[in-house]
Structure 1
Amino acid sequence: MAEATQYVTLGIASELLAVPVERVREILESQPLSRLPHAPPWFLGMIDVRGQGVPVVDLRVKLGFDAGADTENTRIIVLEARMEGHELTLGLKTDRVFEVTPLDDADLEPPPRVGAGWRPEFIVGIGRRNEAFVTVLDLDHLFASTEVALIAPALDQADIAPPQRGEG
């Protein structure tokens, strides 16, 4: 019998995507961000999550979709990704989050090979849920790209946590 993995399903534009539930720390409502100068368009800025500065990536823009306006359904999924051998906590801004659902690993189809210019390495596979295609993202490849490496120095220096009592 095929082993089913639990995924958090989310939407950007009209697309249904999924990330492994074991990588998700929490799901937050949209909130103000502290922007960093000269950041790439897909890097929205930083938010504070329990005293930790967390970079937020616009998943729509990162995956090549047009940027979208925030709505009451916009969410930030705080998750763990591996970048250059290190664990990194990141936020993904998504249009909406649906549910946690199982997908059978053995039933995931590989991403289609359709030619140059398309980046299938961001995709683990394509599953189906309620007769809809679900694109399972490969978080480590999505965030291991050289583009994300550009923001690493800024993340090392970012300190947006509020001062502790007695500091000043």
Structure 2
Amino acid sequence: MDNNTQTEIDEQSTQFLTFIMAEEEYGVEILDVQEIRGWESCTEIPNMPAYVKGVINLRGTIVPIVDLRQKFGLENIEYSAITVVIVVKVFVDGKSKVMGLVVDAVSDVHSIAHCDINLPPQLGTDNDPSVIRGLVSIKDKMVVLLSSSLLLDLEQFKNIESLSVHNTQSPMVANG
């Protein structure tokens, strides 16, 4: 294979970080991944859906933490030493958004050719955008590729952002 052929293949593929939930493999585009962290407790926010575990302060940024098992209606499990939070950064409406995704374990990084990605089946209503970007077979196993930007529940995100604006204001200095 010459260099031009390899360049064409590289331009027609995307790398995905894959992870495990309920013994199934899922993936998000590697360019959306900011970092991978071990599970740590977070600050709970009242009146959030159960799948929003709370928020963490990540170097000055308030990051909502979403348990994908709960968001997808999978069986809850206790967090363990291999439970991780994948911090993703996506652009929505021209703004950068950061969110942590709690998953069972990180699996691998795969370079996937665009032509190998199958469109997800149309199971829901037309008004309900799926978070599934596509499906791909890797080593005889089906991997569900997710769209990081569609995982964001924008209404919940706005509620969390409004809290962080109030909490990041400078503390008052006492006169004395």
Instruction: State the TM-score, normalized to the length of structure 2.
Output: 0.80
Contact persistence 1:48–1:160 (CA under 8 A): no
Aligned to 2:120: 111
Cα distance in 2 for partners of 1:34, 1:157 equals 12
**What is the match of residue 154 of structure 1?**
160
User: 1-side partners of 2:136 and 2:106: how far apart?
Assistant: 17
Match of 1:76 among 85, 110, 124: 85
Cα displacement string for residues 88-112 of structure 1 (whole angstroms, at most 9, x for unaligned residues): 0110000100111111111111112
Cα offsets for 1:1-51 (capped at 9, x unmatched):
652211100011111000000010100000010001111111110112223
Q: 2:132 aligns with which of 123, 130, 144?
A: 123
Give the structure 2 partner of residue 28 of structure 1.
Answer: 37
Q: Would you say the 8 A contact 2:64–2:160 is kept in 1?
A: no
Aligned residues: 161
TM-score (norm 1): 0.84
Q: Which residue of 1 aligns with 2:3?
A: none
The superposition leaves residues 137-157 of structure 1 with CA deviations (integer Å, 9 ceiling, x where unpaired) of 0122221x4xx4134123232
Taking the aligned partners of 1:7 and 1:23, their CA distance within structure 2 comes to 9
Q: Which structure 2 residue ranges, 5 or more long, are not aligned? A: 1-7
**Cα RMSD for the two superposed structures:** 2.5
What is the rounded CA distance, in whole Å, between the counterparts of 1:24 and 1:54 in structure 2?
14
- Give the alignment partner of residue 22 of structure 2, picking from 13, 16, 19: 13
Residue ranges of structure 1 left out of the alignment (5+ in a row): none
Larger radius of gyration: 2
Do residues 133 (structure 1) and 142 (structure 2) align?
Answer: yes
